[in-house]
């Protein structure tokens, strides 16, 4: 691993832990993503955060995701995350399931393997965290 990769990995570890410290499972390989979706039941919901280093949007996405996932009355059955730019194969595989234009950070809600909600970067960046929370809450309230 070169110096740049080591630096980015150490930087990303803190950002990853913002989610994993609050119950998100980090899926770091394409096999882990497939394995997860192969075992999830059709009536279960999964909230996915495609994490990123980007400060302008990810610095809003992570706090919003954690706030709603931990405080909303209706919650998904599962919380998972992949890290764009760090876990590339896992992120590419997750994007196959999401089936939307690549966007990081972004958030998705699944019922079984069916996408029922998606919040792309352009709906995160530049918005107040409270508005992002309300978008997530609406998906949770409708589908969880």
Q: Which of 50, 54, 109, 133 is catalytic?
A: 54
Q: Are 81 and 61 in contact (CB under 8 A)?
A: no
Tell me, yes or no, if 144 is annotated catalytic.
no
Rounded distance, CA 139 to CA 141, Å? Answer: 6
Q: Which of 56, 85, 88, 96 is catalytic?
A: 56
Q: What is the DSSP string of 26-38?
A: E--SHHHHHHHHH
Tell me, yes or no, if 54 is annotated catalytic.
yes
Give the count of beta carbons closer than 10 Å to the beta carbon of residue 34.
16
Q: Which of the residues are catalytic?
A: 54, 56
């Amino acid at each position: 691993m070169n110096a740049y990769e080591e630096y980015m990995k150490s930087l990303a570890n803190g950002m990853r832990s913002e989610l994993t410290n609050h119950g998100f499972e980090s899926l770091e390989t394409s096999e882990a993503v497939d394995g997860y979706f192969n075992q999830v039941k059709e009536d279960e919901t999964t909230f996915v955060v495609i994490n990123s280093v980007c400060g302008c949007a990810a610095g809003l996405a992570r706090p919003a995701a954690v706030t709603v996932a931990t405080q909303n009355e209706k919650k998904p059955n599962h919380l998972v995350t992949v890290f764009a730019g760090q876990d590339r194969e896992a992120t590419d595989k997750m994007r196959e399931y999401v089936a939307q234009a690549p966007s990081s950070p972004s958030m998705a809600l699944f019922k079984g393997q069916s996408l029922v909600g998606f919040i792309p970067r352009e709906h995160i960046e530049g918005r107040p965290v409270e508005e992002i929370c309300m978008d997530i809450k609406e998906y949770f309230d409708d589908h969880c």
